[in-house]
Amino acid sequence: MRVLVAALMGGIVMFIWGAVAHMALGLGDIGMHQPVAEDTVLVSLRPGLGEQAGVFLLPSVDPAKMGDKTVMAAYSTKAKASPYAFMVYMPQGDDLSDMSGRLPREWASDTLSALMLAFVMGLAAFSFMTRLSIALAASVFAWLSTMVPYWNWYLFPTNFTVAALVEQVIGWLLAGAVMAWWLGRSKRRTL
């Protein structure tokens, strides 16, 4: 039960920190820019990408043809001379200002992440600082295993990637401190 309470507390702290990080500090906007001619780009998406939602890399090459040296040489030439884009495409659109479904999913994600962290933090009678170190290590691990590959392979901007590290480390240190305090406090009271 103490792990579940710690997870709820950590999930709430992480959710609040996420709101502060994005809305007050703008960490979620670092590295993002507004298009010069948005309507021109939007009009070209459906004719260029079709009706299938998904992730697109431009320029692209068919993975089935990656073994063909002629195809890869042509792709390499085109890739060097063309702009690059990594995009999530939804031909049907979506109202990104409507947070009614996204906020509950974010809270659930934060709380489930906190549950995994609370489980590890509660495995032994660790000190507060050891539990906090576990939270720090978990946040850096998550960043290294997700954001750094996106930076490396999909060319996410460096400032965007570093901002994600700052958001994760601060958030999980705050949530980890609350969770470490609760787990230590609950453990002493039950003995």
Buried (b) or exposed (e) across 44-66, using 16+ Cβ within 10 A? eeeeeeeeeeeebeeeebeeeee
In a domain, 78, yes or no: no
Confidence check: pLDDT of 191 > 60 = no
Domain containing residue 7: 2-33+99-190
Residue where the block lists tokens 């459906």: 46
Confidence check: pLDDT of 153 > 50 = yes
Alpha-carbon distance of 152 to 148, in angstroms, equals 6
Confidence check: pLDDT of 39 > 70 = yes
Identify the pLDDT of residue 124.
86
Identify the pLDDT of residue 96.
85
Number of domains in the chain: 1
Confidence check: pLDDT of 187 > 60 = no
In a domain, 83, yes or no: no
In a domain, 63, yes or no: no
Confidence of residue 94 (pLDDT cuts 50, 70, 90): confident
In a domain, 77, yes or no: no
Confidence of residue 186 (pLDDT cuts 50, 70, 90): very low
H-helix or E-strand containing 86? strand 85-89
In a domain, 71, yes or no: no
Average pLDDT of the residues in 80-87: 94
In a domain, 109, yes or no: yes
Condensed to tens digits (0 to 9), the pLDDT of residues 8-20 reads 999 999 999 999 9
In a domain, 64, yes or no: no
Summary mean pLDDT of the chain: 93
Condensed to tens digits (0 to 9), the pLDDT of residues 111-138 reads 999 999 999 999 988 999 999 999 999 9
The residues, ordered by sequence, that sit 6+ positions from 163 with a Cβ below 8 Å of its Cβ are 27, 28, 30, 31
Average pLDDT of the residues in 70-83: 96
Q: Cβ distance 20 to 170 under 8 Å?
A: no
Full-model pTM = 0.84
In a domain, 168, yes or no: yes
